[in-house]
Structure 1
Amino acid sequence: MSIKLINIGFGNIVSANRIIAIVSPESAPIKRIIQEGRERNMLIDATYGRRTRAVVIVDSDHVILSAVQPETVAQRLTTKEENDDD
């Protein structure tokens, strides 16, 4: 199994194999997940002070905030998978 890395903005990279979900931060349940991650010290803020546009949830229960749109991160993920299949 090879390690696949995905850029989530500003040079921050996440292991694609560990991503469970990429969601928008607008809904109340996601805001609650962000707050719980902050309280458990499992929140990684990769926004560089910009507005949070995507929340990446990984299998280690870490919650990662990104300033890149969820669609963009998902597109990078699918593009990476297609390139690896070739």
Structure 2
Amino acid sequence: MAKQGLLNIGFGNFVVLNRVVSIALPSSAPMRRLREDARAEGRLIDATLGRKTRAIIVTDSNHVILSAIQAETIAQRFSAEEGE
């Protein structure tokens, strides 16, 4: 059975590595719209602990996760975990 790695998205929050579809910056209009649609549909998970959103993670279950960690940092962690 394949090991399911966890991706640290900050402040003690983790996502199953192979469920991540996209890691994006939150500043573009499409990402703001994605966040608002997810909030309205109950698919938004806020893992920022009240801090500024610096990355949006989209999962294969269509959940949208907000993180206060920079998207580049999460992408580096993703690449490191995927390589193990």
**Aligned-pair CA distance for 1:42:** 0.4
5+ residue gaps in structure 2? none
For normalisation by structure 1, the TM-score amounts to: 0.94
CA distance in 1, matches of 2:82, 2:25: 22
**Aligned-pair CA distance for 1:2:** 1.7
CA distance in 2, matches of 1:47, 1:81: 23
Runs of at least 4 residues of structure 1 off by over 3 A?
A: none
5+ residue gaps in structure 1? none
Q: CA RMSD in A?
A: 0.6
State the match for 2:55 in structure 1: 54
State the match for 2:82 in structure 1: 81
Per-residue CA deviations over 1:35-81 (Å, capped at 9, x if unaligned) read 00000000000000000000000000100000000000010011112
Q: What is the aligned-residue identity percentage? A: 51
**Aligned-pair CA distance for 1:12:** 0.1
